[in-house]
Structure 1
Amino acid sequence: MQSRYRRYIVGIASLGVISLSMLLYSMFSHPFTLLTGTAWIILLFYLVMLVMAWQFPILVAGQRIHILAGIVTPLFIQFGVSYAVALTCLSWFALELIINHELKWTRVSVNLSMLILQTILSAFAYFAVGGKLGFSQPTFALFVPVSVFFIVHFISNELLSLLFTYLRDAKIENWLVGTQWDLIAVLMDFVLAWLFIFLGHDGSLLAYFSVGIAFVGILYIFRLYSNLVFSNRQLSLISTLTGEMLMQAKEKDFLHKLIGAMPKILAANACYVFTYQKGVLVPIEVYGRTHESEEGMLAVEVEPGEGVTGEAYERQQEVLKGNRFSGPQAAYFEQDQKIGGSTVLAIPLVYNHEVLGVMTFIHVQPNAYSKRDIEMVRILANQAAISWSNARRFEQTRLETVTDSLTGAYNYRYFSFAIEEMFQRTVREKGNLTLLLLDLDHFKWVNDAYGHEAGNEILTEVTKILTKNVRDEDIVCRYGGEEFAILLPETTLLVGEQVAERLRIAIEQAPLLNKWKGTMPMDAQLAQVIPLRITVSVGVATYPDHAESSHTLILHADRAMYVGAKQAGRNRVSSYSMIKERV
């Protein structure tokens, strides 16, 4: 992470030096010209238009489109590259200070460097194809230079954005989506630029201000229209997502579907789905701009009542906080520094008065979410809570049908399904499948001496030992009575024997009965008077070494257990290879 951060800082610094050098060169080669008369008013007009373009972006499919090049191009042609760079940077700088009330040097360096390089590179290309400054030349003579200016402006913007995507180790798909909408913005800018160029030939202040008022009005109408379109899109996505979520029978699949939809419903730099586990809220699904950031996000833990997420969990209602707080609210933001962002929106997923989890949206910009956004997320949360509850109930029902109620291990029904499915997959992939059958030695005597309650506790503890000492992909089943079966996919005979021996030793050394207290005072005395050591006999069989079907794999593992381990003295491991001669 430190190397990535160092790479990012070095990249920003290098780009800053390059852009500053090019700026100084352009200022010396194309210095500021003295303005007289109405030129200052026209220049002020361009500045206001740039500020309006920054302030009122058009929202399309969640992407902010700034109509800038359409203003920068005629500004450059009329006043030169120095004024174009100065006004573009000044408008962004002023608006950033007004909105955020603070300036982060990394953000300032990145954005100003990009603006400077885009404008200067486009200007160089404009001059390279014979373009000249001023509106005195015929309009048709400007077509090729202006087109080249736009092409270079677009390409340089996308290449610089791609560079910073790499430096931040961000997801490339985010850059691809932005590029598509930037291309649409170029077409709108191109039309606007020619409108201003025609105005430049007229030279009338009234014409400038008439178009300026029309431009602001169009921006406002576009903003209203795009908000309406975006709202419809959000509702459509929620409707589609609701149907997809209701079809998810597994909780994991539902959560994956939910986290994938969250940044589509509401623009966010990061998204969390928290759930309550062992006294804290932990993220079970996250969305971040980089893969590395997602790894760090999964390590976050939030106490109930802590920060925006914890507050939403306790209050069972949405909580929205920006980055300007006063009074006791400041504490919430301080605690939310662990998940970052200037705007934090958290909304609980509540069903039947039970909080299943919390959705949290993070945005780097302050005041990023509107009342409409909150309403959309509230609709999503209601539908998600129902789907989550359904997925949990379905999974609970499924588990009850395939798990042993006493030990929590898979039952014989699931074992019969799993071994057949695993065997067929192993045959297709030409791999290995090892089956362990384990039987607790002298378990009937344990039940007779200590009672069935003690026997049940021993079975439960043995299950825990088995589960703890195998891989996540291995399947532990209660085969019946005191017998257990363990399926080891992609495991050779030699490795299977080693696993079996490890399990045998773990059970032999475990103080199983010491944990049993019984229900009568004499039970504790009995546990001390009658020492007990639980042992296990294990049979091992492997495909393709010992079987050509799942049935023969079970038969040969069972044979290895009884003939090779039980009859040989118990408390040992035997593979089918050891008893082949006796079969």
Structure 2
Amino acid sequence: MGKYRELVFNITLITIGSILFVWALYRCGIGIDWRVFLILLAFAIILDNIGIMYTDIKLSLSPTIGITTFLIFGTVGAATLMVSSVMFDTIVVRKKIKNGLLNGGMFSIAYLVAGWFYEFIGGKIGIVSFSQVKYILSYVIISFLLNNFILYYALKVQGKILFKEYWNESVLLELGTYIVMIPVSLLLAYIYFKHSLLFFVLSLTPLIFIAYAFRMIRDLIKANKRLNAIYEMVKMINSKLELEQILDTIIEVISQVVSVSAAAIYLTDSNGVAALVKSIGNREGEEGFKENYFKDEGIIGKCISSNKTIAIKDLKQDKRFLKEQFLNNYGSVVVAPLRFSGSVIGCLMVLHVETNVFDEDSVKIIEIIVDQASVAITNAKRYYEVTKKSITDPLTKTYNRRYFNDALMENIMRADETSEPVSLIMFDLDNFKLINDTYGHLVGDEVLKEVAKRIKNNVRSDDIVARFGGEEFAVILPKLTAEQAYMIAERIRNEVSSRPIRTDKGDIYVTITGGVADYPEKADSAEKLISHADRALYAGGKSKGRNKIAIYEV
């Protein structure tokens, strides 16, 4: 559906733009001095080529030439120049035929409609005076709004996501350049009407230096961002962030220092298989990033096995990875290995829809960042493993008593804030001592592990299962009343008792007894909640024959 919508939009834009342009030529003609027009076109093309790229958005000072041409030759002349300039830059220089046709349609609509509105409200062509400024401003505002509206919608239907992060910055910068472009355009038009052609051409030349100045300022800002990015990565190494936060930060930092249309992070497991752990920006409705890569498989597997960065400036020309369908949506890619102590632990893939986006400096900064990121990822994984060991029961892989106490207090405080209940189930295996005495402690351990597994498989993802001690387990159930928790406890009881546990000593049938209480209905503190659930377990369950679930009664 997304592809169809994009196709319809593209055809509509190109068709409307072409019809308007041909109709304008037929009705009005151009009526220009071709010598002057070609000089202006040459300057417009030069300014386009030293513009600033914001991912899929390109900014330049070429509208200065467009406004000047409009003041000299009128609506059709200006539209012809701007359409010719943008199509030359896109099709001839950047080799993007489809984008060139789309840009041509967009510029045709924006500059023709703005020019006709200018004429409709009383603006005059060939006159440069203060009385015309308000009309010229209307021309600039309408062409600006139409251009940006069409461009925004075009990028949206193409499913491009990351451009939105650059949108505000690029629009603000473009508005800032109009503060320079409008008075310069008025001055250039005045010089054309009042002075010689040679003086007019010489007056156009400073625009090139101004454009370079803007580009240098942007490059300085970019360099500063890159230094800040490296600082952020170094700072992140010493943090105790979770792995998910580390991955988010890596993607955020990368998108600040290079132009990005999509990105993905893969991490390898003990078998060398690379798994997708984080991705952004992939086009909706099309084949997404591959979830797993084996050694030497595709561009990710090749990067990991070679332990070298793969940088492709033009994916349409490079034939090595043609089988990976998602790469057909992009023009450039950099895949850099994540290394720690000489071993590859994963890789970062950065993509852009345009070709020739990632120069040597971009590749170098990506490699610097992934080197720092590798340390941060390794530290985060180690911290997670150490933390998990400190709160996990080593036998059953459920939470331990210390974590249970903290989690229960936290859930009680949250229940006070939200006025929602929290329930507790206390479980105890029936006749577990007999199992140990009959089959031995190793078999008893196998029984405990299987019972813990069955309990975890029958609760919600945000419920907390802990080994309370010995053969006793506890389950914290946020946002549930005792009656709702009772239903889950019954399901667990049935799951434990309905089928045997397979051990080396044969199949063993076990049963489990449980007690349920909730806060604040049946207990007013964490201590009483544990006490009341435990009392229900023994008074309401064990004393009445075991293999039962009981709710504490006040």
Give me the TM-score of the superposition, normalised by structure 1: 0.86
Asked if the contact 1:321/1:333 (under 8 Å) is kept, the reply is no
Partner of 1:158: 148
Partner of 1:523: none
CA drift at 1:368: 0.4
Partner of 1:456: 445
Question: CA deviation digits over 1:202-251, x for unaligned, max 9?
Answer: 45342344345443344345434432331122212331353256334322
Partner of 1:563: 539
Partner of 2:304: 313
Structure 1 position 252 matched with structure 2 position 232: no
Asked if the contact 2:339/2:371 (under 8 Å) is kept, the reply is yes
CA drift at 1:186: 1.9
Structure 1 position 87 matched with structure 2 position 81: yes
SS of corresponding position for 2:97: coil
Structure 1 position 52 matched with structure 2 position 46: yes
Partner of 1:573: 549
Asked if the contact 2:61/2:211 (under 8 Å) is kept, the reply is no
Partner of 2:496: 507
Structure 1 position 143 matched with structure 2 position 133: yes
The worse-fitting range, judged by mean Cα deviation, of 16-25 and 407-416 is 16-25
C-alpha distance in structure 2 between counterparts of 1:303 and 1:463, whole Å: 34
Partner of 1:128: 120
C-alpha distance in structure 1 between counterparts of 2:301 and 2:325, whole Å: 9
Partner of 2:17: 19
2:364 to 375, 379, 391: 375
2:411 to 422, 427, 437: 422
Partner of 2:293: 302
1:96 to 80, 90, 95: 90
The worse-fitting range, judged by mean Cα deviation, of 550-559 and 169-178 is 169-178
Using the aligned pairs only, state the percent identity. Answer: 25
C-alpha distance in structure 2 between counterparts of 1:250 and 1:474, whole Å: 20
Partner of 2:275: 282
CA drift at 1:499: 0.8
CA drift at 1:7: 4.0
Partner of 2:175: 183
C-alpha distance in structure 2 between counterparts of 1:575 and 1:138, whole Å: 89
Structure 1 pair 257–57 and aligned structure 2 pair: CA distance change class (3 A): same
C-alpha distance in structure 2 between counterparts of 1:58 and 1:162, whole Å: 17
The worse-fitting range, judged by mean Cα deviation, of 193-202 and 550-559 is 193-202
CA drift at 1:100: 4.4
CA drift at 1:426: 0.7
Partner of 1:520: none
Letter in 2 for 1:306: E
C-alpha distance in structure 2 between counterparts of 1:237 and 1:129, whole Å: 50
Structure 1 position 78 matched with structure 2 position 79: no
Matches within 5 A, 1:60-75: 64-75=58-69
CA drift at 1:66: 1.5
Matches within 5 A, 1:341-360: 341-360=330-349
Letter in 1 for 2:139: F
Asked if the contact 1:307/1:336 (under 8 Å) is kept, the reply is no
SS of corresponding position for 1:88: helix
Asked if the contact 1:249/1:395 (under 8 Å) is kept, the reply is no
Asked if the contact 2:261/2:281 (under 8 Å) is kept, the reply is yes
C-alpha distance in structure 2 between counterparts of 1:507 and 1:109, whole Å: 67
1:543 to 519, 536, 541: 519
Structure 1 position 337 matched with structure 2 position 337: no
SS of corresponding position for 1:360: strand
Partner of 1:197: 189
Asked if the contact 2:432/2:471 (under 8 Å) is kept, the reply is yes
Asked if the contact 1:58/1:219 (under 8 Å) is kept, the reply is no
C-alpha distance in structure 1 between counterparts of 2:70 and 2:316, whole Å: 41
Letter in 2 for 1:51: I
The worse-fitting range, judged by mean Cα deviation, of 116-125 and 20-29 is 20-29
Structure 1 pair 191–456 and aligned structure 2 pair: CA distance change class (3 A): farther
CA drift at 1:415: 0.3
Asked if the contact 1:304/1:311 (under 8 Å) is kept, the reply is yes
1:31 to 23, 29, 32: 29
C-alpha distance in structure 2 between counterparts of 1:126 and 1:160, whole Å: 20
CA drift at 1:353: 2.5
C-alpha distance in structure 2 between counterparts of 1:100 and 1:243, whole Å: 39
C-alpha distance in structure 2 between counterparts of 1:229 and 1:253, whole Å: 26
Structure 1 pair 8–62 and aligned structure 2 pair: CA distance change class (3 A): closer
Partner of 1:386: 375
Structure 1 pair 138–110 and aligned structure 2 pair: CA distance change class (3 A): closer
CA drift at 1:571: 1.7
Structure 1 pair 87–393 and aligned structure 2 pair: CA distance change class (3 A): same
Query: What's the Cα RMSD here?
Result: 2.8
Matches within 5 A, 1:483-522: 483-513=472-502, 516-517=503-504
Asked if the contact 2:160/2:261 (under 8 Å) is kept, the reply is no
Structure 1 pair 246–93 and aligned structure 2 pair: CA distance change class (3 A): same
Question: CA deviation digits over 1:372-411, x for unaligned, max 9?
Answer: 1112112211222222222222222211111111121110
Partner of 1:434: 423
C-alpha distance in structure 2 between counterparts of 1:218 and 1:232, whole Å: 21
Asked if the contact 2:188/2:204 (under 8 Å) is kept, the reply is no
CA drift at 1:511: 4.0
2:221 to 199, 221, 229: 229
Asked if the contact 1:340/1:362 (under 8 Å) is kept, the reply is no
SS of corresponding position for 2:513: strand
CA drift at 1:124: 1.6
C-alpha distance in structure 1 between counterparts of 2:15 and 2:58, whole Å: 28
Letter in 1 for 2:348: M
Letter in 2 for 1:496: A
Asked if the contact 1:308/1:345 (under 8 Å) is kept, the reply is no
CA drift at 1:332: 2.1
CA drift at 1:123: 0.6
Asked if the contact 2:398/2:452 (under 8 Å) is kept, the reply is yes
Structure 1 pair 399–502 and aligned structure 2 pair: CA distance change class (3 A): same
CA drift at 1:338: 5.3
Structure 2 gaps, min length 5: none
Asked if the contact 1:297/1:339 (under 8 Å) is kept, the reply is no
Question: CA deviation digits over 1:308-339, x for unaligned, max 9?
Answer: 3332222223211133566xx51224426358
Structure 1 pair 479–190 and aligned structure 2 pair: CA distance change class (3 A): same
C-alpha distance in structure 1 between counterparts of 2:402 and 2:227, whole Å: 43
Structure 1 gaps, min length 5: 518-525
The worse-fitting range, judged by mean Cα deviation, of 406-415 and 83-92 is 83-92
The worse-fitting range, judged by mean Cα deviation, of 22-31 and 478-487 is 22-31
Give me the TM-score of the superposition, normalised by structure 2: 0.91
Question: CA deviation digits over 1:82-102, x for unaligned, max 9?
Answer: 232233222222332234435
Letter in 1 for 2:309: E
SS of corresponding position for 2:202: helix
C-alpha distance in structure 1 between counterparts of 2:494 and 2:343, whole Å: 44
